[in-house]
A and B are shown apart, each in its own frame.
Chain A
């Protein structure tokens, strides 16, 4: 048996439902540009018909519908795309940072240019070549000193820039870690709120959007895996739990470094920063130090011309030269240890007295061992008195006097430009070669790495953009669609209102127009 007001109730339900749909359309339109927003739909179902089966059912034929109601408001979202997006986003995060670091390294190396290390090194050899033409020239000596200082300055500067870069990267890692930790806290909080709301049977659509957006953001910083558990999202980095059943495991510098070692951390910006700092920057610093070490102490074969008088007590290839032995009667091919030992084979022009050459390069505090790109300096004594530069390898008379016109040592040093040095470091790109070869291979290696990183970044950002597009295609708000929906719902609303009016008229007739026969 239907009720008198059945039609009014049906129209009312329709009005409410269409209105809810209109409101949701409004909500969608309002959030068309909100990051992470997922379009929502009102799921309408026909409400239960009044005639249930049973003995009491009326004999009126047909099941009379009771209109519409909405069962839920849900997000239109595909979980699979989320996982895919996060997976690629971590690689993008990592490679973006790495490309960025390598670009900075390229800027630090500053090649090809007329101001990079190559130029400074070439100038240094040129100065020696010039000095070999005129060993007595004070200007020539000063130029050698100046170009040597320019060389050590260039190394010091490169080293400082690498240190600065390394510090910046550490700073960045700390910022990213703090970011992840604060996001984890927010997600844990959202987990609770969502749990409460959904416990009451509603869908916490907007809160879920916020939570997914946060996970998306984290996925750029570290590799993150989401498992939806009873108490909301559990987040894992590899096998390390970051958030599990409401317990947050905060990241810190030690834990990300350990995670990188164990392989749990294998993507995202923090991974890229760690790789940049501990591989790229550290390697280039080592390579630079190897270059410095080769210049100062690297093994190189030289041919000392006949007629040379070696300084008293010189030891070459295990032979100690003393007394009459010091005068070489034939060319002597030996291995010397870098410019420092080479320079000690000659004699200074010191006015104060006869004196063999001293080390060309020292550390900042004057030590002759442990010279690195950071602390390499030109020997302070030579800077103070360029006459200490040794160019001659010949002496004459008693007491001994240096033969000033002998330029053998200047020539030997000038020829180090093309001499093959031995590079001992494990990560040296080449084991033997000229200093220029070595520097070139560093530059080439950096170029290859930077090119690869740029390529990866471009590829990955295309992939991420494509996945994001597909996600947008599913979840994004289309204004056209919302407009069309709006018209649809508006018309339905209007029609329902019209039904209500019709019902009103029916009841009006029933109540006011009936039982007045003959009046």
Chain B
């Protein structure tokens, strides 16, 4: 069909084409200035659901990392305390050995007994340690001291509740050890406070055999402290592993997010250049075509 072309058609078409070119440029410009391919859901409906998922995963990941940090500081604090407890038990063993053997006069035994009483007080202090206001050895009741009275520490039991921290999707970790585990229950033969009291009493009474008899209780308690400590160590390792995994995950998800959302600047720039040339050409063409009519050539 031989099309009849009129000036209005030409200028309408020119306006339309310039508009189209402009909207393409504007699209590239949005991508360049935000650095993202997906700026609204309709840009890529499938991509946007992934973008939202990655963003949520990253937010959760940050939270888990912060939880892991808290868990680590709790575990490290416990480890330090258990180290101190171990040292005290070792010292108690030395003292008991020293007091219960040889031919110590009563004065010397009294001195040893005093030191052991001091050690017990020190132990109760350690057992009542707080991390950021929390009594770490009192299970879930960490809002109150596990051993409020120095005198009856041996017959006091702590709460057995486990404190869980959320360190990943569906992964909760117990991060506390209770006073019962470390120092023994009231009924335990090797309840550390009771053992120390008995040793001190025996020494004060000059009962060397009685003191010596407590040695194996000290030994068994020492074993337990060490085993609890190694458990804490193992847990620390696990949490550190978790920390690394979370960091890896963060990296991976960030990469995925970037792949989904981020604009390839080089590519966008190239396309922008191409479309800009087209735009310029359409403007230049327009300025020539719509200006002239037959009128210009009539005399």
Contact = CB atoms under 8 A, between A and B. Distances in A.
A443 B63 contact: no
B40 A450 contact: yes
A133 B166 CA distance: 8
A477 B140 CA distance: 89
Contacts of B141: 396, 403-405
Nearest to B9: A472
A436 interface: yes
B51 A112 contact: yes
Interface string B153-187: 00000010101111001101000000000000000
B52 A447 contact: no
A473 B5 contact: yes
Contacts of A323: none
Interface stretch (A83-91, A118-126, A179-187): A118-126
A409 B156 CA distance: 28
B56 A133 contact: no
Main secondary structure, interface of A, reads helix
Given A134-B132, A403-B140, A436-B52, A447 B9 contact: no
B79 interface: no
Contact of B166 (A129, A439, A448, A454): A129
A405 B169 contact: no
Nearest to B44: A447
A404 B70 CA distance: 18
A449 B45 CA distance: 9
A8 to B, nearest CB: 32
Given A451-B42, A484-B294, A118 B52 contact: yes
A405 B46 CA distance: 43
B38 A112 contact: yes
A476 interface: yes
B201 interface: no
B99 to A, nearest CB: 39
Nearest to A112: B51
A40 interface: no
B88 to A, nearest CB: 26
A494 interface: no
Contacts of A449: 42
Interface in A453-500: 454, 465, 468-470, 472-474, 476-481, 483-484, 487
B273 interface: no
Interface residues on B, range: 35 or more
B216 interface: no
Contacts of B48: 111-112, 443-444, 447
Contacts of B49: 440-441, 443-444, 447
B41 interface: yes
A396 B138 CA distance: 14
Given A473-B6, A473-B9, A130 B63 contact: yes
A326 interface: no
Contacts of B161: 307, 394, 403, 405-406
Contacts of A417: 60
A394 B140 contact: yes
Nearest to B66: A130
B6 A448 contact: no
B60 A125 contact: yes
Contacts of A407: 140, 163-164
Contacts of A441: 49
Given A415-B170, A417-B60, A405 B143 contact: yes
Contact of B294 (A32, A109, A129, A480): A480
B16 A487 contact: no
Nearest to B69: A133
Interface residues of A, number: 67
A130 B59 CA distance: 13
A436 B53 contact: yes
B147 interface: no
A446 interface: yes
A472 B143 contact: no
A415 B56 contact: no
Nearest to B42: A450
B139 interface: yes
Interface string B4-18: 111111001100100
A356 to B, nearest CB: 18
Interface centre among A32, A450, A469, A483 (most CB of B within 10 A): A469
B250 interface: no
A411 B172 contact: yes
B190 interface: no
A52 B133 CA distance: 126
Interface string A125-157: 110011011101000000000000000000000
B110 to A, nearest CB: 41
A379 interface: no
A221 B95 CA distance: 100
Contacts of A411: 164, 166, 172
B45 A451 contact: yes
Contacts of B44: 447
Interface string A270-298: 00000000000000000000000000000
Interface string B38-78: 10111111101101110110011011101100100000000
B42 A444 contact: no
A340 interface: no
Interface in A194-237: none
Interface centre among B16, B40, B163 (most CB of A within 10 A): B40
B298 A483 contact: yes
Interface string A161-193: 000000000000000000000000000000000
Given A126-B62, A440-B52, A480-B293, 15 more contacts: A109-B41, A112-B52, A114-B55, A119-B59, A129-B67, A132-B165, A133-B165, A403-B140, A405-B161, A411-B164, A447-B45, A447-B46, A472-B6, A474-B4, A478-B5
26 contacts: A32-B8, A112-B52, A119-B55, A123-B59, A125-B63, A129-B64, A129-B67, A129-B166, A133-B165, A136-B133, A307-B161, A392-B140, A404-B141, A405-B138, A405-B159, A417-B60, A440-B53, A444-B45, A447-B40, A447-B43, A447-B48, A448-B45, A465-B16, A473-B4, A473-B9, A480-B294
Interface of B: 3-9, 12-13, 16, 36, 38, 40-46, 48-49, 51-53, 55-56, 59-60, 62-64, 66-67, 70, 132-134, 138-143, 159, 161, 163-166, 169-170, 172, 261, 293-295, 298
* A-B residue pairs, 9 tightest by C-beta: A447-B45, A447-B41, A450-B42, A476-B6, A405-B140, A122-B59, A478-B6, A405-B142, A483-B294
